[in-house]
Structures are given as C-alpha cells and as structure tokens.
Chains A and B, each alone.
Chain A
Amino acid sequence: MNVTVNGDRRELPAGATVASVVESLQNAPEGRGVAVAVEGEVVPRAKWSTTAIREGATVEVVVAVQGG
C-alpha cells in the first residue's frame, strides 16, 4: 500500500504499523526523542506496535532539532 512518510511517498507491506514505519527509518532514536502523528493525530509510543497504517495515510515522524 502507498503511504506518505515525512512528505515522501512510500510503498509499505500490508499490515504495516507505526512501529514498523519508525523502525524502517534511518537514524530514528531508539528511546526518548521521537514522536509520531498519523493523519494529524499523535500516536502514543505504547500504541505504535498495535496501530496499523491505512492505505493513503500521512505519517509524520519528528525529532528534536535546534530551535527557539
């Protein structure tokens, strides 16, 4: 299925979850410091492995950067 992850169109296997998307990204922090929104809603880390990604979904994976 096709989804958009951080602005890039990507092909994901059926059954992909938020956890599998984050694991597929290079440089994703393992512990603290990363958060995910799917369709503009924050998905708590505890629900990453049980939250399925739907066809056409928009996923944003964010981390800390310098700012402010």
Chain B
Amino acid sequence: MTTPFAIAGRQLSSRLILGTGGFTNHEVLAAALNASGAELCTVALRRLDPAARGSILDVLDGAGVEVLPNTAGCYTARDAIVTAQLAREAFGTDWIKLEVIGDDRTLLPDAVELVAAAEALVDDGFVVLPYTTDDPILARRLEDVGCAAVMPLGSPIGSGMGIRNPYNISIVVERAGVPVILDAGVGTASDAAFAIELGCDAVLCASAISRAHDPIAMATGIRLAVEAGWLARGAGRIPRRRYAEASTPDEGLPVFDSASQ
C-alpha cells in the first residue's frame, strides 16, 4: 500500500524494518516477521555459544528477509568499526546499523564517537545507517560524512515512550537529503503511524513487537499503522486551529422560535 523507497540505491517496498531483539524464540520471530511484512531486519554479533540451538540466519533466510547487522553494545568508535568489519565478514553485506552508545542506562548515542565511526566506516566502503538522537544538527553531520540514511530515536531504546520531540523529528526530515528512519521508542501502533505522518521514510521496531503480549498481532498492527500513516500523510492533514470550525453549514437551519423571525 505504501510506495517503495530506496536506501543507497536498494529499493525497499516495506517501510517497516524489524529489529530481532527480544523475541522469546525463533518460531515467534518467524511468525512476527511474516506478519510485519518487513524485508530487512537487524541482527547483532556475539561470541559463538556452544549451547545455542538453531541459527537466526536460518530463520531470516526462511522468511526471505535481508540481514542488517548492527553494532549494538559498542561504546567506542573503535569497537563499532571492528564489529562492522566482523559483520561484513560474517554476512557478506556492506550495510551496517551503526550504534555507538554513551551509557548503559539511557542507551543514548555518543555523538562524538558516532560521527567518528560513521566517517571511518563510510571511508571503508560501508553503507552506514546510524542510530542517532533527534538532534537535527547531528543528523546533518552524519549525512555530511556520507551516511546512507539517518535513524533518529523517538525516545530511548526499549522505553516505549513514543516520539518525545516531534518538532525535532520534523526538522530532521525537512533537512535530510537521505532517508530518515525512526529507530527507537515506538511503543505501539500509533507511534509508528505518527512517525510516518511526520515524514519519516520508515520505522524500525523491535521491543514494541517482540515484547508485546502478542507479538504477531502487534507486528500486524504496526504494519497497518505504517500504511495508515503513509495514507494520511499523502492525504494532507487539516491545519490545527484553536477554535472550532463547523463541519455542518448554518444555511437552511430551521428556526423554531417565531419571535426571532
């Protein structure tokens, strides 16, 4: 129902990107992936676990979705760069969702390390999709160093607090020359619709779906919300006004009091 968009020349039909963190098992992930309609989904890199059962890559291959590796858990540009290089080796993709966080309480991006890592990875041939704050200046800096998209947060990762500063997200969108993907904070379907209404090209969701009581129903709900937001944005919302504007005409209103005739 939405029109395709492109990141670094790759067409994507779905404007919902799924984060795979937090699903209780691979079966639920596979069903949610199917319900979400996502074509791209994130994975992280961690030490090989001898006790792990089944590979997430098999789930993603089975669902026909592309892998977007991330650098989750990295606090420095150096760690993020090595992690991105490992991901390129492991998955054969130049695409990287770049996360360089400042602390484990807020999981907010470390702007200084983020820009440094983005610049180095672009120079190394990566298609860099940085997780960033809702700061329009930082978004521009990331675009200036060659990022293929910018992914501002609506609110902190996993917080479900929605879009705390829609004005900043609007400014990021207005000024961006690359796709804008709302990347964190979505708690429910209406948050995803709002992101698209604000002009974001796509929404990336993980916890809102994976930690919902019914992840498959939420994946469907958020997919439909993205479509609803897209239709509403294209339709053009009415201006906000402080006073009412009647939708029913006064003309032809019957009069029941003879004294006022």
A28 to B47, CA, bound (A): 10
Given A33-B90, A42-B86, A45-B89, are A68 and B70 neighbors across the interface (CB < 8 Å)? yes
Chain A residues, CB < 8 A from B57: 29, 32-33, 64
Interchain CB contact under 8 A, A68 and B90: no
Query: CB-nearest residue of chain B relative to A29?
Result: B55
Query: CB-nearest residue of chain B relative to A68?
Result: B42
Q: Which residues 35-50 of A have a CB within 8 angstroms of B?
A: 35-37, 40-42, 44-45
Chain B residues, CB < 8 A from A25: 48, 50
Interchain CB contact under 8 A, B55 and A63: yes
Q: Does B91 make an interface contact (CB < 8 A)?
A: yes
Chain B residues, CB < 8 A from A63: 45-49, 52, 55, 90
Interchain CB contact under 8 A, A6 and B19: no
Query: CB-nearest residue of chain B relative to A67?
Result: B44
Interchain CB contact under 8 A, B21 and A35: no
Give the size of the chain A interface in residues (CB under 8 angstroms).
27
Counting contact residues on chain B (CB < 8 A from A), the size range is 35 or more
Given A32-B92, A42-B82, A61-B47, are A68 and B67 neighbors across the interface (CB < 8 Å)? no
Interchain CB contact under 8 A, A32 and B48: no
Q: Does B56 make an interface contact (CB < 8 A)?
A: yes
Interchain CB contact under 8 A, A64 and B82: no
A7 to B50, CA, bound (A): 13
Query: CB-nearest residue of chain B relative to A31?
Result: B57
Interchain CB contact under 8 A, B48 and A68: no
Q: Does B64 make an interface contact (CB < 8 A)?
A: no
Q: Does B139 make an interface contact (CB < 8 A)?
A: no
Given A26-B50, A29-B55, A42-B86, are A64 and B91 neighbors across the interface (CB < 8 Å)? yes
Q: How far is the CB of B82 from chain A (nearest CB, A)?
A: 6
Interchain CB contact under 8 A, B49 and A27: yes
Q: How far is the CB of B7 from chain A (nearest CB, A)?
A: 16
Q: Does B231 make an interface contact (CB < 8 A)?
A: no
Q: Does B99 make an interface contact (CB < 8 A)?
A: yes
Interchain CB contact under 8 A, A64 and B86: no
A41 to B81, CA, bound (A): 10
Q: Does B166 make an interface contact (CB < 8 A)?
A: no
Chain A residues, CB < 8 A from B99: 68
A sample of 8 cross-chain residue pairs with beta-carbon separation below 8 angstroms, ordered by A number, consists of A6-B47, A26-B50, A42-B85, A44-B89, A64-B69, A67-B20, A67-B72, A68-B99
Residues of B within 8 A of A (CB): 19-23, 29, 42-52, 55-57, 67-70, 72, 82, 85-87, 89-92, 97, 99, 206
